[in-house]
Amino acid sequence: MAEIPLTKNRDFMLLWGGQMVSNMGSMASQVIYPILILALTDSPAAAGLASALRWTPYLVFSLPVGALIDRWDRKRVMVLCDIGNAIGVASIPVAMFFDALTLVQIYAVCFLEGSFFVFFNIAEVAALPRVVPRVQLPQATAQNEAGFGIANIVGPSVGTFLYQTFGRAVPFVFDAISYLVSLVSLLAIRTRFQPDQAAAPRDLRAEIAHGLRWLWTNRLIRYMALLTGGVNLVWAGTPLLLIVLGKSLHASDADIGLIFSIAGTGAIVGSLAGGRIQRNFTFGRVIVVTLWLQALFFLMLAAMPTWVLLGVVAALLWMIGPLYNVVQFSYRVALIPDELQGRVNSTFRLLAFGFIPVGAALTGVLIEHLGVTAAVVLFAAWLFALAALTTLNRDVRDAPPIERARAVA
């Protein structure tokens, strides 16, 4: 594939644009799920369970899905997932219209969205090296993070505005439409999302085992999967923490949306800086420094006197995420052979995302029984411990440049 600027890469821009709109819709509804459940039940634990159910499918499906994605047409999988998600999310406003919405249905839709996300996300990660040259993966990852940052800024404010102004159902209608926009963008992409299969598929269990062995024998990638899982344990409950902290500071539902939008500006800054930082600093230095900063900013959340300052500190925290993600994601994907992308990335995400349902459920329980400040302090202590362990890890500190790492992989 000829190296051209990403902004002139038609298929990448279609993929990026479609996902930015879809993420915007998802952020609009995701901030509403806990607000809606808190309004219905007044239980942080019930709100945390909804988030946990969204991520539980990764524990169940990720390994077989990774192997299947390496067999199946990746674009077709993504198209079907968008259709399924649009139908699932649209069922919530339909139930509201008939005054039939229940907590069970909300939980079921969360689980359904999470299940489709497993298929879509693994297919998308595996397809990215087909859409852009490997040398541009850091830049493409940074642009993806920027798109996610834009969604973080616009989505929550749009969601809370629609919720407060036009009714509880409208953010979910907006989300369903955003999935259809993603669907149209995918159908317009010309690039094949996988190489031609030269050999007949192997036994599914053997394919899964091959992906597991590749990741487990690479000590750095194995550690990064576990480390990312440990970080995600905390990130899983951060939205609920911000909502409860904001309400304790007398923020309205619209103000809650603004907190997330302020935080999203940090994600934009981090994503724009991610590619440059990846080029100018070593892998180990970026990973270690971002972990220490993340722990510090997270602890600061507990001491904010106003909801505006809460949003500012959240923006600093959100800024760190893209820096970490750009470096670890581009390094990892560049190392994995194309025919193993689905299997290895599904194994990585099983470890990285498998902690999310635990963290989401744990956050609600801690808030309900210990209080929100205690929950923030405990999670900050966990992040400081991860930063210390990573600082001592030689595989991270001494990771070679990606070109040399690929040569010996």
pLDDT at position 405 is: 57
- CB-CB contact of 282 with 399 (8 Å): yes
- CB-CB contact of 338 with 137 (8 Å): no
pLDDT 10s per residue in the chain (409 long)? 446 788 888 999 999 999 999 999 999 998 899 999 998 898 999 999 998 998 888 888 877 887 788 788 889 999 999 999 999 999 999 999 999 999 999 999 999 999 998 899 888 888 888 888 877 877 888 788 788 878 878 888 899 999 988 999 999 999 999 999 999 999 999 988 876 654 455 677 787 788 888 888 889 989 999 999 999 999 989 999 999 999 999 998 889 989 988 988 888 888 778 767 877 888 899 999 999 999 999 999 999 999 999 999 999 999 998 889 888 888 887 788 777 777 787 788 788 888 888 998 999 999 999 999 999 999 999 999 999 999 999 999 888 876 665 555 5
Residue whose tokens read 């052979």 = 337
pLDDT at position 199 is: 47
Residue 68 lies in a domain: yes
Residue 1 lies in a domain: no
User: DSSP secondary structure string, 172-236?
Assistant: HHHHHHHHHHHHHHHHT--S-SSPPP-S----HHHHHHHHHHHHHH-HHHHHHHHHHHHHHHHHT
Residue 226 lies in a domain: yes
User: DSSP secondary structure string, 249-310?
Assistant: TT--HHHHHHHHHHHHHHHHHHHHHHHHHHHHS-HHHHHHHHHHHHHHHHHHGGG-SSHHHH
- CB-CB contact of 66 with 344 (8 Å): yes
- CB-CB contact of 232 with 356 (8 Å): yes
Residue 63 lies in a domain: yes
Domain CATH for 152: 1.20.1250.20
Among 60, 393, 358, 95, residue whose Cα is nearest residue 236: 358
- Quote the number of domains for the chain: 1
pLDDT at position 406 is: 57
- CB-CB contact of 59 with 347 (8 Å): no
Residue 2 lies in a domain: no
Residue 56 lies in a domain: yes
Find the domain containing 215 and state its range: 7-192+201-408
Residue 358 lies in a domain: yes
Residue 258 lies in a domain: yes
Rounded to a whole number, what is the largest CA-CA distance in the chain? Answer: 62
pLDDT at position 198 is: 43
- CB-CB contact of 291 with 385 (8 Å): no
Cα–chain center distance at 134: 21
What span, in angstroms and rounded, lies between the C-alpha atoms of 233 and 326?
19
Residue whose tokens read 């993420």 = 23
